[in-house]
């Protein structure tokens, strides 16, 4: 199990390295630069997302290096000077990384991570940082939607075979667990991250045996304390359920065991579950759970439960592991400022699309909590500002800057923490269980239910301190004049 030992330093877009070589050649004259990681749109038109992948990002940054084979490959491209390749040979990331805690509920356009580093260091990590954060944030967010739809019922990740290759299965299972699923079928994810693993039987088990009855009987004999029978290979109501009940009565119950569950994997799951429930109850098997799988997601689960489908456990595969209804998490990595001779200058991207204008400069992100402890808004300030909790705090809603608005009786939480300082890890990554619990804690205590709705959820505010807002406006005005 050598999975951990991979060197993924070469996961980057080529332009990271051509730009790095350009900066090296032209002798970059900055002390440091700051890049913000943020995203612009919640998946599935939801009210928030969940920040995943930080632990892997930190590992990647700490291990970033280029070995002889890598240098040889770069040399073969005939793009880079020998001096630069020699520089790469001794390269080590020496910057600082500030980030939200993994598992934080996040909102569009706030910097969930900021990298403050020498220019080349900050540039070449872009691609891998985004790939890891985009993937795990996507799946954690989707998994959480599915878990919320299941409304307290068990949800398990069955997605490996439809994942976008091995990493997507394994890190997807990790992210799904952060999002709240109760376990995974993916063994490598269980081994690597300690996620509870589970599984039942495949159709091939039933088809291998001469009859469905023999298949269930053989399974019950090997796993008497843990049997879940897959009942849809031939005919759920006329064959699958009757055979399951027969084996329960003939093999399990005489030994003091009970049939733990049956699984439906095709057909109309609500209809079949209702009839299966009735047949099981009639047979005195009220404790036998009904598990459903087959292209489930938050929408189908909501609909099945609305129709009263008595389903206890959901096995969720392709639509979770690919986030099928919205498979792209679009976090970006944008330069926010450059430091020359100790002084920071903000940078802004205007672009042809208004929605792509960035929030410039070094900044702090505060989450603003009401007296009841609910997260009511995010607040961007300049780095030196410390919002007062003692008196009404004047802020600006950048979409309605003419309004005079105040936070009253609120508390402010500084959301970014320094996790890597001068290239060394200064805060240990929390355990996976702690990350998962943190997600649940926030949703139960801090995040408005109105933001947890699937349809047209409340949009969380991203407000600004007056100083920060005026800095941004001044910068836009100066660029407008330059043209």
Q: Is 238 in the site for a copy of itself (CB under 8 A)?
A: yes
Pick from 57, 105, 112, 170 the residue near a copy of itself by CB under 8 A: 170
Residue closer to a copy of itself, measured from CB, 229 or 395? 229
- Total residues contacting a copy of itself (rule CB under 8 A)? 118
From CA 233, how far away is CA 244, in angstroms rounded? 12
Residue 19 binds to a copy of itself (criterion: CB under 8 A): yes
Q: Which is nearer to a copy of itself, 266 or 431 (CB)?
A: 266
H or E element in which residue 436 lies: helix 432-441
Closest to a copy of itself by CB, 205 vs 448, is 205
Note whether 364 binds a copy of itself by CB under 8 A: no
Q: Is residue 13 a contact residue for a copy of itself (CB under 8 A)?
A: yes
Task: Read off the tokens for 205.
Answer: 């088990």
- Per CB under 8 A, 162 contacts a copy of itself: yes
Tell me how far apart the alpha carbons of residues 144 and 447 are, in angstroms, rounded to a whole number: 13
Q: 132 has which bridge partners?
A: none
Residues 260-289 within binding reach of a copy of itself (CB under 8 A): 265-268, 272
Instruction: Name the minimum Å distance from CB 424 to a copy of itself.
Output: 23
What is the smallest separation between the CB atom of 112 and a copy of itself, expressed in angstroms?
15
Window 421-450: residues binding a copy of itself (CB under 8 A): none
The closest alpha carbon to 187, from 197, 202, 200, belongs to 197
Verify binding: residue 200, a copy of itself, rule CB under 8 A: yes
Is 2 a residue that touches a copy of itself (CB under 8 A)? yes
According to the binding rule CB under 8 A, does residue 40 interact with a copy of itself? no
Residues 6+ apart with CB under 8 A from 181: 143, 146, 147, 155, 156, 157, 316, 320
Nearer to a copy of itself by C-beta: 203 or 374?
203
H helices present in 268-361, as ranges: 269-282, 298-306, 318-321
In DSSP terms, which residues pair with 113 in a beta bridge?
Answer: 37, 99
Q: Give the CA angle between residues 468, 472, 473 to the nearest 5°.
A: 115
* Minimum distance, C-beta of residue 237 to a copy of itself, in the bound complex (Å): 9
Question: Residue 384 CB: number of other CB atoms within 10 A?
Answer: 8
Closest CA to 135 of 104, 108, 173: 173
Nearest to a copy of itself of 130, 379 (CB atom): 130
Q: How far is the CB of 86 from a copy of itself (least distance, A)?
A: 17
Question: Which uninterrupted H or E stretch holds 421?
Answer: strand 417-421
The reply to whether 223 sits near a copy of itself by the rule CB under 8 A is yes
Provide the minimum distance between the beta carbon of 411 and a copy of itself in the complex, in angstroms, as a whole number: 35
Shortest approach of a copy of itself to residue 394 CB, angstroms?
Answer: 30
Site for a copy of itself in 291-350 (CB under 8 A): 318-319, 322-324, 327-330, 333-335, 338, 347-350
Q: Is 468 exposed, middle or buried (0-12, 13-18, 19+ CB in 10 A)?
A: buried
Of 40, 45, 75, 235, which one interacts with a copy of itself (CB under 8 A)? 235
Residue 395 CB, shortest distance to a copy of itself, in Å, is 27
- Interface with a copy of itself, residue 63, by CB under 8 A: no
3-state SS class at 348: coil
Contact between 185 and a copy of itself by CB under 8 A: the answer reads: yes
| Interatomic CA distance for residues 456 and 466, integer angstroms | 30
Q: Cα(376)–Cα(379) distance, rounded to whole angstroms? A: 10
Kindly state the smallest distance separating residue 152's Cβ from a copy of itself, in Å. Answer: 24
Minimal CA–CA distance to 429: which of 136, 57, 167?
57
Please say whether the beta carbons of 299 and 323 come within 8 A.
no
Give yes or no for a contact between 83 and 155, defined as CB atoms under 8 angstroms apart: no
**Segment 73 to 112, residues that bind a copy of itself, using CB under 8 A:** 73, 77, 79
- Residue 18 as a binder of a copy of itself (CB under 8 A): the answer is yes
């Amino acid at each position: 199990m050598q999975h951990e030992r991979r060197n993924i330093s070469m996961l980057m877009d080529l332009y990271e390295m051509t730009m790095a070589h350009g900066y090296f050649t032209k002798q970059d004259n900055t002390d440091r630069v700051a890049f913000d990681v943020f995203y612009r749109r919640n998946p599935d038109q939801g009210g928030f997302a969940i920040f995943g992948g930080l632990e892997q990002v930190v590992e990647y940054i700490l291990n970033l290096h280029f070995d002889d084979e890598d240098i040889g490959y770069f040399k073969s491209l005939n793009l880079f000077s020998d001096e630069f390749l020699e520089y790469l040979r001794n390269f080590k990331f020496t910057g600082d990384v500030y980030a939200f805690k993994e598992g934080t509920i996040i909102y569009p356009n706030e910097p969930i991570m900021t990298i403050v580093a020498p220019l080349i260091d900050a540039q070449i990590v872009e691609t891998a940082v985004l790939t890891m954060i985009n993937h795990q944030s996507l799946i954690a967010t989707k998994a959480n939607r599915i878990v919320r739809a299941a409304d307290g019922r068990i949800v398990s990740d069955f997605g490996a075979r439809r994942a976008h290759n091995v990493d997507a299965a394994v890190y997807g299972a990790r992210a799904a667990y952060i999002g709240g699923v109760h376990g995974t079928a993916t063994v490598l994810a269980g081994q690597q991250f300690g996620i509870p693993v589970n599984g039942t039987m495949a159709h091939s088990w039933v088809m291998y045996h001469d009859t469905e009855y023999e298949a269930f009987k053989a399974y019950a004999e090997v796993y008497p304390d843990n049997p879940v029978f897959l009942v849809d290979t031939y005919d759920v109501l006329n064959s699958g359920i009757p055979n399951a009940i027969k084996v329960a009565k003939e093999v399990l119950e005489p030994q003091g065991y009970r049939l733990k569950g049956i699984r439906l994997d095709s057909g109309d799951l609500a209809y079949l579950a209702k009839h299966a429930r009735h047949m099981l109850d009639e047979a005195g098997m009220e404790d036998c759970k009904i598990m459903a799988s087959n292209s489930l997601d938050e929408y189908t689960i909501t609909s099945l439960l609305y129709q009263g489908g008595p389903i206890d456990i959901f096995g969720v595969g392709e639509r979770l592991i690919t986030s099928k209804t919205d498979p792209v998490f679009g976090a970006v990595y944008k330069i926010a400022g450059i430091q020359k001779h100790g002084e920071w200058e903000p940078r802004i991207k205007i672009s042809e699309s208004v929605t792509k204008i960035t929030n410039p400069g070094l900044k702090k992100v505060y989450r603003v909590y009401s007296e009841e402890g609910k997260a009511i808004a995010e607040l961007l300030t300049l780095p030196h500002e410390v919002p007062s909790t003692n008196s009404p705090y004047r802020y600006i809603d950048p979409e309605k800057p003419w309004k005079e608005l105040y936070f009253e009786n609120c508390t402010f939480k500084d959301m970014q923490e320094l996790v890597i300082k001068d290239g060394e890890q200064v805060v240990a990554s929390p355990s996976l269980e702690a990350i998962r619990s943190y997600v649940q804690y926030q949703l139960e205590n801090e995040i408005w239910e109105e933001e947890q709705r699937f349809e047209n959820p409340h949009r969380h505010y991203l407000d600004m301190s007056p100083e920060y807002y005026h800095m941004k406006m001044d910068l836009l005005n100066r660029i407008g004049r330059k043209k």
